[in-house]
Amino acid sequence: MNEATAAGKPRLTREHALALLRGMLRVRRFEERCVELYTQEKIRGFLHVCIGQEAVAAGVMFNIADDEAVVAAYREHGHALLKGMTMQQVMAEMYGKVSGCARGRGGSMHLFDADTRFYGGNAIVGGGIPLAVGLALAEKMQGGNRATVCFFGDGAASEGVFYESLNLAALWQLPLVFVCENNYYAMGTPIAVEHAQPEIYRKAEAIGVPAERLDGMSVVQVEAAARKALAAARAGKGPRLIECETYRFRAHSMFDPQRYRDQTEVEEWKKKDPVDRLAEWMAQANLIDEDQRKTMEAEIAEEVEQAVQFAEAAEWESEKTLFDHLVQPLPKPLAPPPAPEIEATETTLREAFHRGLEEALEHDDRVFLMGEDIGRYGGCYAVTHDLFGQFGAERIIDTPLAENGFTGAGLGAALGGMRPVIEIMTVNFSLLAIDQIVNSASALLHMSGGQFNVPVVIRMATGAGRQVAAQHSHSLENWYAHVPGLRVLAPATVEDARYMLWAALQDPNPVVIFEHVMLYNHKAELTPQAQGVDIEKAAIRRPGTDISLITYGGCLYKTLEAAEQLAAEGIEAEVIDLRVLRPLDTDTLIESVSRTRRAVMVDEGWKTGSLAGELMAILTEQAFWELDAPPARVCSAEIPVPYAKHMEQAALPRVADIVAAAKRTLGEAP
């Protein structure tokens, strides 16, 4: 609903006031019923109600256009209802029924609706804030002026991602309104304990985001501020923050005994009840009488009961669809690369990666790159050199050192219709972004019941060998390969480095690409691949009959060298390059081992919990009777990677280690 006024203030006509009152009452009565249903064990899990805070959602939502995006936190029932979701679909989701807004896969904390552009609640405190930044970034990149609104609580303003996100929004002057629902308690921690500066709006001002603080128990004040902030965002004046001082009358969640606050404090705040406050004013102004209030209450009560009846009668999702909405299928066939090489040329993996990025930028206007030092500097590993000069700052976006923030922004931009390629400088730094990758990117399609996929590509350097010691030498590919919903790639040849990106950008799901630092300078002849490369299959890099050596990434060439040494002794080893770590191509593995009857896994990760261990389990489960010997593995020593060169090399898989493991598996003395 939009009702502009010359002064930018709400014009409280009777219809306007009635709409605000009805909106708050709908939220209040819906949640009161949910509390009853929770005690009856009809609703389970966590239930966070916003009873007492309704003025914030009502005041802001009154001004949001139907096609503007909203991102909320886990106390989001009111935001969802006031954005236009039906009470029936929300209640069914609370029950976990298939008729719910997310097919029962999200529950109370994860309400989603593509039709109303409601991008969900988020159970991770502050987790939705960078997604809102990305949605606003996509809107700006596409030339639109629709605003994005992001709701969060005071607790989220303690998270680092809050500061990262506000900084990005201010730097990029995005059409975004942040709404802090400051209810004075982050779960049970009072604001005086969690914030050295308890006035949250001042934090935004310090970052460069214009902000104001207001009485969040007054729907009139909230609406006036929201109207002004949204107008500024739509006019291209950049982000705004509204801090609404409000209060939840009930517990943080239904598990909360509320020992951290005195009941007298709650009663004092109840005197400011936003619903009663507006209703009493309307009665005094003759905008509503007792009979009209009773009629409104009766209509809302009927709506609530119809929602309950709908949820009660709705069906549960069949277990047969358990694996639905995990990933969307790759297009069949994949579009070939638009500008493949015609003749074989010698190149390095660095230049092959560079050409893949350049090709994507040239042939898909939705593609842009984002990361630390990728533009003006040319990239830490020089993969993105010269791209800034070719495509400019709008397509090659240098970010602050804020991995969780800019990764989340990339996910939001993907939700908004773009095709971002995010570069995280090293796998070690990705641990700062793992929240967004694991809690959001991999799970959104599932949690939203198939409504929101995240077509983003995340590149990062991995591996050891450069004498940069423990904090820049990890091989954590298996951590990400562990997570359903991600595709994980590990290119090790110039062909894969050159062509995997184009295929990955066609994947409607999040793709993580690991580039081993010791392979950037590896030079080889690039064979033309007119159809691109397969990102679903492992590759046999060297055929053999006596033993299968299974590896990926930085260990590929060590394994090939080991195979040559074995061949000199009459042992023909087959070398399999996994290259796709999730989903694993088990068919190729089983077929190879069924022929060779022996296997050695070579993995730069640590042995405990390694991808090599998973491969051994797969072979044991699916090819046990084909094996003539127990499978073996060669992994890095279980220590932080040392600095001194000889110690670093001793810690990593070596050619001699692979040869020895193969001979042991063949029954020979090492």
Active site residues: 403, 472
Give the pairing type, strands 599-606 and 523-526: unpaired
Rounded-to-integer distance, Cα 503 and Cα 535, Å: 7
Long-range contacts of 560-563 (CB under 8 A, 24+ apart): 561/655, 562/655, 562/658, 562/659, 562/662
Rounded-to-integer distance, Cα 108 and Cα 101, Å: 11
**93, 153 Cβ separation under 8 angstroms:** no
Question: What are the DSSP E strand ranges found in 157-221?
Answer: 176-182, 185-186, 189-190, 211-215
**151, 55 Cβ separation under 8 angstroms:** no
**353, 387 Cβ separation under 8 angstroms:** no
β-strand partners of 370: 397, 422
Rounded-to-integer distance, Cα 304 and Cα 34, Å: 10
Q: List the one residue out of 604, 599, 592 whose CA is nearest residue 652.
A: 604
Residue 331 DSSP symbol = P
Q: Is the dihedral of CA 621, 622, 627, 630 positive or negative?
A: negative
Tokens 């389970």 correspond to 44
Give the pairing type, strands 599-606 and 632-636: parallel
Q: List the one residue out of 438, 651, 427 whose CA is nearest residue 553.
A: 427
Q: List the one residue out of 357, 354, 324 whose CA is nearest residue 505.
A: 357
Token reading at 644: 């001194």
Rounded-to-integer distance, Cα 419 and Cα 645, Å: 40
Rounded-to-integer distance, Cα 177 and Cα 183, Å: 19
Rounded-to-integer distance, Cα 327 and Cα 343, Å: 36
Instruction: Concatenate the DSSP letters of all residues of 262-314 into one string.
Output: -HHHHHHHHTT-HHHHHHHHHHHTTS--HHHHHHHHHHHHHHHHHHHHHHHHS
Query: How would you class 94 by CB atoms within 10 Å of its CB: exposed for 0-12, middle for 13-18, buried for 19 or more?
Result: buried
Rounded-to-integer distance, Cα 387 and Cα 508, Å: 25
Rounded-to-integer distance, Cα 275 and Cα 609, Å: 54
Token reading at 270: 């109840």
Rounded-to-integer distance, Cα 251 and Cα 479, Å: 36
Give the pairing type, strands 345-348 and 457-462: unpaired
Rounded-to-integer distance, Cα 309 and Cα 295, Å: 21
Cα of 512 vs its chain's centroid, Å: 12
